[in-house]
């Protein structure tokens, strides 16, 4: 059986989401809310569209998560003074206070996940994953569609 990189990445992502969800429940955060919560630590006054781009999800997901975080008291939306059609999103004091604690929780998970792997190997993995992300963006934008079709034909003929 051929080793599937995509399958392994998917497995790691699912198991990581489960672990993170369990670890963050004591902060009344879900794994889906976590990237938004952390983005608010760095991008105060961001628009919903900008937040969508940073977290790399669709607008509907952002809308649901922003509403949930607002209801929980982790963010406030304020109308942009220059463009009244836009809302700016700001973390609350609670979010700022909890931010470092949640960050440490996530870094602790990262340490457990990478235990026993040398820094050199981790650097290689990170570089490879960045290249895979670039390839995905190319596929998503339609750049690599023909290359992907040729690759699938070659695999089918083997």
User: What's the residue count for the chain?
Assistant: 158
Structure confidence at residue 23 (pLDDT): 93
Mean pLDDT over the full length of the chain = 89
Structure confidence at residue 1 (pLDDT): 60
In sequence order, which residues have a C-beta less than 8 Å from that of residue 74 and are 6 or more positions away? 29, 33, 37, 40, 91, 92, 94, 95
The domains of the chain are located at 5-115, 118-158
Whether the predicted pLDDT of 24 surpasses 90: yes
Residue 47 backbone dihedrals phi, psi, to 5 degrees? -85, 165
Structure confidence at residue 82 (pLDDT): 86
> Out of 3.30.465.10, 1.10.10.10, 3.40.1010.10, 3.90.25.10, which CATH number does the structure's domain 5-115 have?
1.10.10.10
């Amino acid at each position: 059986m051929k080793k599937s990189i995509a399958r392994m990445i998917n497995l790691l992502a699912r198991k990581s989401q489960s672990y993170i969800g369990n670890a963050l429940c004591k902060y009344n955060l879900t794994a889906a809310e976590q990237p938004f919560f952390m983005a608010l630590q760095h991008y105060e006054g961001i628009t919903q569209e900008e937040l969508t781009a940073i977290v790399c999800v669709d607008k509907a997901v952002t809308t649901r998560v922003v509403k949930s975080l607002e209801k929980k008291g982790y963010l406030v939306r304020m109308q942009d003074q220059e463009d009244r059609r836009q809302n700016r999103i700001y973390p609350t004091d609670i979010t700022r206070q909890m931010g470092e604690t949640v960050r440490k929780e996530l870094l602790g998970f990262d340490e457990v996940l990478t235990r026993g792997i040398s820094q050199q190997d981790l650097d290689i993995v990170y570089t490879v994953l960045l290249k895979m992300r670039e390839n995905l963006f190319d596929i998503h934008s339609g750049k690599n569609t023909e290359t992907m079709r040729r690759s699938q034909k070659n695999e089918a003929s083997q």
